[in-house]
A and B are shown apart, each in its own frame.
Chain A
Amino acid sequence: MHDEEVERYLAEFKPRRVRALEVPGNKRVWPLRLVAAAVIFLVGGSSLWYLRQETQGVKDALSRRHVLPTTAKRASNLNAIALTKLALEDNEHFEALLADRSQTALPSFQGENSTLRVLAKE
């Protein structure tokens, strides 16, 4: 038998198929990493937003506390029209003003249109 015949015979054999090359960190992993990064970003972002909202709320509450007494003091000299306007436009301040004045002023008992007389009539 000649060399060519042996070569032809050997060429009838094919190496068995092998599994695909398993490259670490291949494409399958990237979507998972991307999703994980997105989740972390969303959670972090929403946490920051929530904290900011909370802080803003506290700041508002504090500033309201500081503002109300001064507004009330300023409003203590207002006349009836200004008070009505304040009640319509800023009910919160109006309430604060009433609360403030109730500590320093008593309702009129003797006037023609005093609160007691009005209540008595009703």
Chain B
Amino acid sequence: MKAERPKKEPLQTSKVTPDEVKSLYERHGAALVAYACSCGLDFASAEDVVQQVFLKMLRAQPSKPEVPLAYLYRATRNACMNFRRDRMRETELPEGQSWFLHNSGNQEQVFALQKALRDLPEEQRETVFLRIWSGMTLLEIADATETSLNTVASRYRYALEKLRHCLGPNFQR
């Protein structure tokens, strides 16, 4: 893993504009829905939850977080937890739904990945999503989650190890 040059973005105090919110949704909405699915929601509920998170951001227009994406992941995670708590009795873990698509169209690999992601501890899963599907650097993740870079790097490394272990057979293409 390459060492990343520390860079500290200036603290922004302006409000999040509606256009910025829409742009964030267009770029990261799909990854956030997949993340919500990995937290145990079915695809439709995950879409609803993520929409609610964005709409809340749109309505409230809070002061711009230092890393809006990390804020959105955290808000989505909390919303998923609330959703599951509220509907604990009626919600079962969805089976047979895909929230990822593979280049080759291989559904087996998709289901294997989804299961492997679900089995990861929460912090590791969040780190993998932020790094792989939202394109953040480990340093940005550390800043956003207010965690040390070493901790984030460890979480990421452990997550990759587990994924490699779970997805092992699928690599033999």
Find out whether the CB atom of B113 lies under 8 angstroms from the CB atom of A10: yes
Find out whether the CB atom of B132 lies under 8 angstroms from the CB atom of A16: no
A21 within 8 Å of B by Cβ? yes
A30 within 8 Å of B by Cβ? no
**B contacts with A, residue count (CB < 8 A):** 39
Find out whether the CB atom of B132 lies under 8 angstroms from the CB atom of A10: yes
Check A16/B30 contact, CB under 8 A, given A3-B157, A22-B51: yes
Partner of A13, one of B54, B58, B102, B157: B102
Partner of A10, one of B26, B30, B128: B128
A6 within 8 Å of B by Cβ? yes
What bracket does the count of chain A residues touching chain B fall in?
A: 20 to 34
A34 within 8 Å of B by Cβ? no
Partner of B101, one of A13, A21, A22, A24: A13
Query: A1 — which chain B residues lie within 8 A by C-beta?
Result: 164, 168, 171
Quick one: which of B11-49 are within 8 Å of A by CB? 18, 21-22, 25-26, 29-31, 33-34, 43, 47
Find out whether the CB atom of B22 lies under 8 angstroms from the CB atom of A21: yes
Give Cα A14–Cα B168 distance, bound, in whole angstroms: 19
Quick one: which of A17-72 are within 8 Å of B by CB? 17-19, 21-24
Check A13/B51 contact, CB under 8 A, given A1-B171, A6-B163, A7-B160: no
Min Cβ gap A29→B in Å is 15
Partner of A16, one of B101, B128, B164, B168: B101
Query: B58 — which chain A residues lie within 8 A by C-beta?
Result: 23
Check A9/B171 contact, CB under 8 A, given A18-B33, A22-B51: yes
Find out whether the CB atom of B30 lies under 8 angstroms from the CB atom of A18: yes
Find out whether the CB atom of B47 lies under 8 angstroms from the CB atom of A19: yes
Find out whether the CB atom of A16 lies under 8 angstroms from the CB atom of B160: no
Find out whether the CB atom of B163 lies under 8 angstroms from the CB atom of A10: yes
Question: Which of chain B's residues has its CB closest to A24's CB?
Answer: B55
Give Cα A7–Cα B100 distance, bound, in whole angstroms: 15
Quick one: which of B127-173 are within 8 Å of A by CB? 128, 132-133, 157, 160, 163-164, 167-168, 170-171
B99 within 8 Å of A by Cβ? yes
Check A15/B51 contact, CB under 8 A, given A3-B160, A23-B58: no
Mask: chain B, 103-116; 1 = CB below 8 Å from A; 0 = not: 11000011001000
List, sorted by A's number, 14 A–B pairs whose CB atoms are closer than 8 Å.
A1-B171, A3-B160, A9-B167, A10-B113, A10-B132, A10-B163, A13-B113, A14-B100, A15-B30, A15-B101, A16-B98, A16-B99, A17-B30, A22-B55
